Amino acid sequence: MKRSILALALALGFIAVGQAQDAGFVILSPDRIVWHDVARYPGVQVAVLAGDPAREGLYILRAKFPPGVMTRPHKHSKDRYVTVLSGTWYAGTGARFAPEETVPLRPGSFMKHPAGAAHFDGARDQEVIVEIRGLGPVTTEPAGE
């Protein structure tokens, strides 16, 4: 059972939204980002901005967490790099789901998710948007509880 926030992004393939410009530039304003619901986590949405997590190469996606929603412990097959764009994101490590032990990360904060390392994360009292970068192909699977 390989499901997580990334699962939707993988299913969507390489959905990149933006306006192509001369010489390959892409300009994407916030109002043009197309968000897609993540079935496993009601209210969580993902937008793939560039690349395709299921294919070879760099991908960039954003995840939006509504207040009170956290992922359960999971792990990825490759390193992922996360930057908090808005809100306070709460990140926990390990295979035991323990929201009370998470670390609050404010906008501008960065976190690396090492390949194969169990973690969980999400929002508490406000919406959170994070940007996630990595090299595909990548898989996500449950870890622990």
Per residue in 93-131, pLDDT (tens digit) is 999 999 999 999 999 999 999 999 999 999 999 999 999
Per-residue model confidence (pLDDT) at position 31: 94
Q: What is the C-alpha radius of gyration for the chain, rounded to an integer number of angstroms?
A: 15
The answer to whether 142 and 73 are in contact (CB under 8 A) is yes
The token duo for 57 is 């190469």
Cα four-point dihedral sign 9, 48, 116, 90? negative
- Is the model's pLDDT at 143 over the cut of 60? yes
The domain ranges of the chain are: 5-142
Q: Using one digit for the tens of pLDDT, what is the confidence trace for 4-30?
A: 444 444 333 334 445 555 788 989 999
Q: According to the CATH classification, is domain 5-142 in 2.60.120.10? A: yes
pLDDT at 47: 97
pLDDT at position 18, please? 52
Q: Which residue type occupies 85?
A: L
Q: How far apart are CA 78 and CA 101, in angstroms?
A: 24
Question: What is the 3-state secondary structure of the chain?
Answer: CCCCHHHHHHHHCCCCCCEECHHHCEECCHHHCCCEECCCCCCCEEEEEECCCCCCEEEEEEEEECCCCECCCEEECCCEEEEEEECCEEEEECCCCCHHHCEEECCCCEEEECCCCCEEEEECCCCEEEEEEEEECCCEEECCC
More confident residue, 140 or 7: 140
Tell me if 127 sits within 8 A of 65, measured CB to CB: yes
* pTM, 2 dp: 0.84
**pLDDT tens-digit readout, 21-78:** 578 898 999 999 999 999 888 999 999 999 999 999 999 999 999 999 999 999 999 9
Residue 145: its pLDDT value, please? 63
Start-to-end CA span in the chain (Å): 13
